Amino acid sequence: MAATYDFPSDLLAGQEELRQVRAELLALLKRLPWSVEPLDGFSDTGGWRKVERPASPGWTEDEQAEVEKLRQRERELTVFVSGHRFWSEIPPPDKVDARMHLKHTHDTMP
């Protein structure tokens, strides 16, 4: 039988917010142009795979600020989750298993 862990509510909330922030950041980065700075497009067909990029208008100041805000929150939450006092209660051989359970708690939440 797989181990179960009694995660504190603040740790569960931190992990869930971290998952949401990462999903929001990924979605934002997918919508933005490929280059932060304006750059000409290019095509490289001479390599082992073809690489093409259209011209990039770059990111606006608001877009850059939004990315930075999400990255900063991601860092804060990562530190909170990884440094939570709960981990000191888990024996070292079980920490990886416990961490994996925490990462996948949203899969089992209603």
Side-chain-side CA neighbours of 64 within 13 Å: the count stands at 9
Provide the sign of the torsion angle of the four alpha carbons 4, 10, 15, 19, taken in this order: positive
The number of beta carbons lying within 10 Å of the beta carbon of residue 81 is 21
Q: Phi/psi of residue 43, each to 5°? A: -140, 130
% the chain with pLDDT above 90: 82
Instruction: For residue 1, name the pLDDT band (cuts at 50, 70, 90).
Output: very low
More confident residue, 2 or 59: 59
- Does 31 or 46 have the greater pLDDT score? 31
Long-range contacts of 1-4 (CB under 8 A, 24+ apart): 3/94, 3/97, 3/98, 3/101, 4/101
DSSP-based three-state secondary structure for 94: helix
Q: pLDDT (tens digit, 9 = 90+) per residue, 34-87?
A: 999 999 998 988 888 888 999 999 999 999 999 999 999 999 999 999 999 999
Angle between helices 95-103 and 9-31 (to 10 degrees): 60
* Residue whose token pair is 């925490």: 102
Host H or E run for residue 51:
strand 51-53
pTM of the model as a whole: 0.85
Confidence of residue 3 (pLDDT cuts 50, 70, 90): confident
